[in-house]
Amino acid sequence: QKEVEQDPGPLSVPEGAIVSLNCTYSNSAFQYFMWYRQYSRKGPELLMYTYSSGNKEDGRFTAQVDKSSKYISLFIRDSQPSDSATYLCAMSVNYGQNFVFGPGTRLSVLP
């Protein structure tokens, strides 16, 4: 079993839809959880990070962590074609150190 798993997709949704992207993990010591967005042929860019359990909102994006279930989610509201990218989750025991990345979910938002 991989330490961090993500549905690889691709996930296709119509413009304006609510998107749910998810990761599961096996290491209960993870405390810091990050979501990166990676456009085709570009490097990843950090979207959001959260510490421990709970929700964090930033504009159209909401990150949710459920440590008891070892499950994290990224919700995108009012999705736009410009959101089409691969979304990577990453997590670590100590912030900024020894990230473990998921394989990424490819999202297409269709106009």
Please state the closest distance from residue 96 (CB atom) to other proteins, in A.
4
Can you tell me the distance from the alpha carbon of 32 to that of 97, in angstroms, rounded to the nearest whole number?
A: 10
Is residue 97 a contact point for other proteins (CB under 8 A)?
yes
Does residue 44 bind other proteins (CB under 8 A)? yes
81 φψ region: left (φ > 0), alpha (ψ -120 to 50), beta (else): alpha
The one among 7, 49, 70, 108 contacting other proteins by CB under 8 A? 49
Q: Pick the piece of the chain touching other proteins (CB under 8 A) from 13-21, 68-76, 77-85, 88-96.
A: 88-96
Tokens 């159209």 identify what position?
60
> For residue 9, which of 22, 25, 18 has the smallest C-alpha distance?
22
Binding status of residue 87 toward other proteins by CB under 8 A: no
Under rule CB under 8 A, residue 98 binds other proteins: yes
Helices first, then strands: H and E counts in the chain: 0, 11
| Choices 10-18, 36-44, 59-67, 69-77; region in contact with other proteins by CB under 8 A | 36-44
Q: Residue 38: count other Cβ atoms within 10 Å of its Cβ.
A: 15
Residue 61 as a binder of other proteins (CB under 8 A): the answer is no
Rounded Cα–Cα distance for residues 75 and 84 (Å): 14
Q: Which spans of this chain sit near other proteins (rule: CB under 8 A)?
A: 4, 8, 41-46, 49, 88, 90, 94-104
